[in-house]
Amino acid sequence: MVQVKAKLQARELQGAVQFLRVASSSMAERLQPGQPVLIKVGWGHDPFLRRTFYPISLESDAFVIRVPPDADRGRAWLRMAPEGTELDCLGPIGAGFTMPTQAQRILCVGRGESSWWLLPFVNAASDRGLAVTLAVEATTRRQIIPARDLPLSVEYHVATRDGSVGDKGDLTPALPSLLRWADAVVAAGPMAFYQQLRYTIESTRTILTRGYAQVLVATEFFCGYGACQSCVADVAGGRRRVCLRGPVFDMVDVFRS
Amino acid sequence: MLNLAPHNKLGLDIQSPLIAGSGVVGFGDVWPPGLHAQDFGAIITAPISASPRVGAAQPRLVETPGGFLLNTGGHNPGFRRVIDRHRTTWRRLSTPVILSLVGGEPGDRAWMAAHLEPLEDVIAGVALPISEDVNLSEAAAFIAAVRRATPLPILAQLPVTRAAYLAKTVLIAGADALIVGAPPPGAYPVRQGFIEGPMGGPAVFPYTVRALRRLADLDLDAPLIAAGGIYTLDDALLCLEMGVSAVQIRGLIWRDPAEAHRLAINIRPFMPQVEEIDPGET
Ligand code: FES
């Protein structure tokens, strides 16, 4: 974990959503897919808390974060910060996704905004020559990752609640066959999504084994190094600090409370 | 070098007037980037209770105007496990370690203090937070009970809004130094309802300053440690000018370890100079 001043190098707009490229080779070279960065927002002590971002792209000397519009004044500051602004970044936090050593066919599955956080892993797995399928469900088209942002080799399934892109509804009908195909799963979404995923895994594969599925337990972090105890979750047989034990957990541990 | 417990035979010597407040480095086992034990005159551990506490469920943290509100519910693995897991760490640290002992049942703190005897060469003292709703006789009773249980220096952490009211009683009962103070509790809305707990952040600093002004009028014969809302060198120097021997930081380390490191360096030249007091003379 390091604390660095990183330059807000470029801003790309897609509608009201911003993609910010943050230049810092010392941070970028440490970041693993699924590991968040905590960014100080504002000029003084207010807003007080750093904001948590899960990069959507990792390069050798920079990382990219996605900032959708919302009512948070800290993220509003970041959306308005001019290019060239020095951002105080703390990270990487905790443990990210690990590349499965035995698996050849990887299913990456996400819901809504969180599915963007899978992108660094999707790219890394594809670069390794693994067969990757990305399956995403979202409320609206705005949360969906455009197919052009994915490596050509990645198979892509989409479902939106309003049917504006891909299947209408959610991934429930598609998941059983995808799970039968995959020999490892990497997921990002809310806890209710993981419960549904676990249920589908157990009904298609009989048993959820350790090492089969990794999930990102997304939370906001304060200190990020295990001291403040603000980031706990009931996982792995107790109330654990996510910044120390996660944020990526084996799915078996997520349901071992 | 400054002694934070000049009336105690064991004393509590610190090399820097900057103290790492309760839990900012866990039990001395978790450190932010760029900060080390030698940056601090002493560290105070996360709160330790006699039995394990699972702590509050989520959400525990909320941002407030000018700060935050954090309620961990006293989450800790309990006295015995803390001692077993961390005694080796404490022995290796190059700064005094002060254990923060928190109550549950009456007598818990005295029980823990009594069991510290084998660690008296490793631990420099105990910090005893006093909650807002404790009255004079209750405060006197538990400080006196801990005093009887251990010769280690006792740092009583007074609730910031009642510091002047409790200070003399707590010192007479056996405290060696006063931490001023424990942050005021507050409540703030979150999506799931409210979080209630101690406040933190620069917004708390005026409470600390007010408490120090009240205590200055009492002319106490004990070192004071300022705590609460200290975020800049100017904040720290103001407290030192008001007569404190040391300042404690917490939220600054969590938010900005690099800034805390700068403060650790910049405050060293301002270490208060005090006359040596003969420990026999009370
Ligand atoms: S963010 Fe502070 S303990 Fe996890």
| Ligand 1 centroid – CA A228 distance (Å) | 5
Among chain B, residues having any CB pair with chain A shorter than 8 Å are 23-26, 30-34, 46, 54-55, 57-58, 60-61, 63-68, 70, 72, 75, 201-202, 231, 251, 253-258
How many domains would you assign to chain B? Answer: 1
Convert the pLDDT of each residue in B207-266 to its tens digit. Answer: 999 999 999 999 899 999 999 999 999 999 999 999 999 999 999 999 999 999 999 999
Q: What's the whole-number mean pLDDT along residues B131-154? A: 94
Instruction: Name all residues whose Cβ lies below 6 A of ligand 1.
Output: A 221-224, 226-231, 241, 243
Residues of the domain holding A74: 2-91
- 3-state secondary structure (DSSP) of residue B178: strand
Q: What is the pLDDT of residues B10-23, one digit of tens each?
A: 999 999 999 999 99
Could you give the angle at the alpha carbon of A236 between the alpha carbons of A230 and A237, nearest 5°?
Answer: 100
pLDDT over 70 percentage in chain A: 99
Pocket test for ligand 1, best of A90, A229, A235, A239 (most atoms within 8 A of CB): A229
- A138: closest CA among A157, A116, A111? A111
What whole-number distance in Å separates Cα of residue A170 and Cα of residue A90? Answer: 35
Question: Do A138 and A75 have their domain in common?
Answer: no
Please name which of A95, A31, A37, A121 lies closest in space to residue A235, comparing C-alpha atoms. Answer: A95
* pLDDT > 70? residue B35: yes
CB atoms within 10 A of CB B219: 7
Per DSSP, which regions of chain B are E strands?
A: 2-3, 13-14, 18-20, 42-48, 61-64, 67-70, 97-101, 125-129, 154-159, 177-182, 185-190, 193-200, 224-227, 246-249
Q: Is residue B65 part of a domain?
A: no
Distance B198 CA to ligand 1 centre (A): 17
Q: Do A46 and B58 touch (CB under 8 A)?
A: no
Q: Say if the Cβ atoms of A222 and B68 lie within 8 Å.
A: yes
What CATH number does the domain containing A56 carry?
A: 2.40.30.10
Last residue of a domain, one of A64, A91, A118: A91
Tokens at B110, concatenated? 């005295």
Which residue out of A223, A231, A245 would a mutagenesis test of the B interface target, given it has the greatest number of B Cβ atoms within 10 Å? A223
Q: Please, which residues have CB within 8 angstroms of residue B8's CB and are 6 or more apart in sequence?
A: B151, B152, B153, B176, B279
From B217's Cα to the closest Cα of chain A, the distance in A is 32
Flag whether B124 is in a domain. Answer: yes
Mean pLDDT of the A147-176 span: 93
Evaluate whether A235 touches A217 at the Cβ level (below 8 Å): yes
Contacts with B202 from chain A: Cβ below 8 Å: 45-46, 48
* A47 and A109 inside one domain: no
CA distances for B218 relative to A212, B138, B275, B281, angstroms: 65, 21, 20, 20
Which atom of ligand 1 has the smallest separation from the CA of B30?
3
- Distance of CA B158 from the midpoint of ligand 1 (Å): 26
Number of structural domains, chain A?
2
The answer to whether ipTM exceeds 0.90 is: yes
- Please give the helix or strand (H or E) that residue A200 lies within, else none: helix A191-205
Question: Is residue B8 within 8 Å of B278, Cβ to Cβ?
Answer: no
Q: Could you tell me which of A65, A244, A72, A88 has the C-alpha nearest to residue B63?
A: A72
Q: Which domain holds residue B207?
A: 2-52+73-186+201-271
| Lowest-confidence region among A1-5, A206-210, B136-140 | A206-210
Domain finish residue from A48, A68, A91: A91
Q: How many CB pairs under 8 A join A and B?
A: 94
Does B277 reside within a domain? no
Per-residue pLDDT at A140: 87
- Between B60, B202, B253, which is nearest A232 by CB? B60
Assigned domain for A96 exists: no
pLDDT score recorded for residue B282: 45
Most A CBs within 10 A among B64, B71, B72, B255, hence the mutation to make, goes to B255
Check residues A190 and B276 and name the one with the higher pLDDT. Answer: A190
* Nearest chain B residue to A238, by CA: B54
**B70 to chain A, minimum CA–CA distance in Å?**
7
Which residues is A91 bridged to in the sheet?
Answer: A2
Residue B67 lies in a domain: no
- Does residue A97 fall inside a structural domain? no
On whether the CB atoms of residues A192 and A201 are closer than 8 A, the answer is no
DSSP A91: E
**Containing H/E element for A82?**
none
Choose the closest CB to A229 out of B33, B66, B72: B72
Q: Which of A63, A91, A119 is the last residue of a domain?
A: A91
Residue A204 has a CB neighbour count (10 Å cut-off) of 13
Distance CA B7, CA B10 (A): 9
Model confidence at A125, in pLDDT bands (50, 70, 90)? very high
List residues bridging with B225 in a β-sheet: B179, B246
pLDDT tens for residues A69-123? 999 999 999 999 999 999 999 999 999 999 998 899 999 999 999 999 999 999 9
Judged on CB neighbours under 10 Å (0-12, 13-18, 19+), A71 is exposed
* Digit-coded pLDDT (tens) for B85-114: 999 999 999 999 999 999 877 799 999 999
Decide: helix, strand or coil at residue A101.
Answer: coil
